[in-house]
């Protein structure tokens, strides 16, 4: 099954392709009921072996802020150094999780157990949604014909990091991750916390 690519989606892909500045390709993904679809653009940088990813078309779906009813359309980015073949599927699964549960997608949202779907031998199990600090000098909210697109970043986190966020707050986890200078592109990195961390 395939869909007609909208002009907005074409503009999105062209915009993010210029920022990634690598060799890009995009594939379409559907949920199990073939109700919702999303394209994932990947771009490999030949200079540092990193692959950058972006959803294309997530912003076609309503994303309501429950506190004020505003509709904040967004796309989600990610970066991976392992060239993992399942990483685009992970981003697609993230989108379908949000759509199927009517979750408001915003910075400091945690999507649980998404990586567990793919049986990785990794401590990383969940995804933290945050602001895209990697490309912050280049990324701007993109105004299209009928919507403004905001950019978010998905970072894999471990179970112990999730527990820390639940007990002390996601902002505290983000601060700790920044201080620890973790490499968010490493899907197989070690957790910065032990399960017994206070």
Q: For residue 27, is pLDDT > 70?
A: yes
Residue 20: closest CA among 101, 110, 102, 138: 138
User: Where does the pLDDT of residue 184 fall: very low under 50, low under 70, confident under 90, or very high at 90 and above?
Assistant: very high
pLDDT at residue 2, as a whole number: 60
pLDDT at residue 21, as a whole number: 79
Which residue ranges make up each domain of the chain? 7-107+128-157
User: Where does the pLDDT of residue 197 fall: very low under 50, low under 70, confident under 90, or very high at 90 and above?
Assistant: very low
């Amino acid at each position: 099954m395939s869909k007609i690519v909208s002009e907005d989606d074409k503009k999105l892909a062209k915009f993010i392709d210029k920022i990634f500045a690598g060799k890009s390709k995009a594939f379409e993904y559907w949920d199990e009921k073939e109700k919702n679809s999303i394209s994932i653009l990947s771009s490999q940088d030949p200079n540092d072996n990193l692959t950058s990813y972006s959803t294309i078309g997530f912003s076609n779906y309503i994303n309501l802020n429950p506190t004020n009813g505003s509709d904040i359309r967004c796309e989600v980015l990610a970066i991976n150094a392992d060239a993992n073949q399942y990483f685009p599927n992970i981003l697609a699964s993230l989108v379908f999780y949000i759509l199927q549960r009517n979750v408001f997608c915003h910075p400091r949202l945690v999507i649980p157990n998404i990586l567990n779907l793919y049986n990785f031998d990794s401590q990383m199990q969940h995804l933290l949604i945050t602001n895209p600090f990697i490309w912050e000098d280049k990324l701007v909210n993109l105004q299209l014909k009928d919507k403004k697109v905001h950019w978010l970043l998905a970072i894999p986190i471990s179970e112990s990091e999730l527990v820390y966020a639940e007990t002390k707050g996601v902002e505290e986890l983000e601060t700790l991750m920044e201080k620890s200078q973790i490499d968010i592109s490493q899907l197989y990195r070690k957790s910065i916390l032990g399960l017994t961390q206070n």
